Amino acid sequence: MKCRSWATLVLLLLVGLGRADGRSIEPQTGGAGTSPRWTVRPMNVNCPQPSCITAKDLNTLWASPDATQYIRCRPAPTGYWMIELNSCAPGTLFQFSRQTCVGTRNWSSC
């Protein structure tokens, strides 16, 4: 029973260490009138690796590990193909299965 009362006391202390004035913590923003910045960026995991070899590869948008970006193949000055990193519009994330950037509520990883 003694252990349970200590656990309760520790829990109450941790809860009490929150903001004493009762205000919530505001999200970080990039400036006046902009949307909140990600504190932890969503990650695309288990997606296929980018490749710029076949015609199908060249017409595919590839997932970047950072879901706010995607990769596409583009011609290189050498005559070969290279990958190019592009950003999604603010507030959207790249979804490989749909081949487009979607709203955060509609996004799922690969």
List pLDDT tens digits, range 6-50: 444 444 433 343 434 444 344 444 555 555 555 566 888 889 999
3-class state of residue 83 by DSSP = strand
Tally the C-alpha atoms within 13 A of residue 90's C-alpha that lie toward its C-beta. 7
Rg, C-alpha atoms of the chain: 22
Tokens of 99: 């081949």
Q: How confident is the model at residue 63 (pLDDT cuts 50, 70, 90)?
A: very high
Sheet-wide strand order for 81-87: 62-63, 69-75, 81-87
Q: What is the pLDDT at residue 75?
A: 92
CB of 66 closer than 8 Å to CB of 43: yes
> How far, in Å, CA of 22 to CA of 43, rounded?
33
pLDDT tens sequence across 18-27 = 434 444 344 4
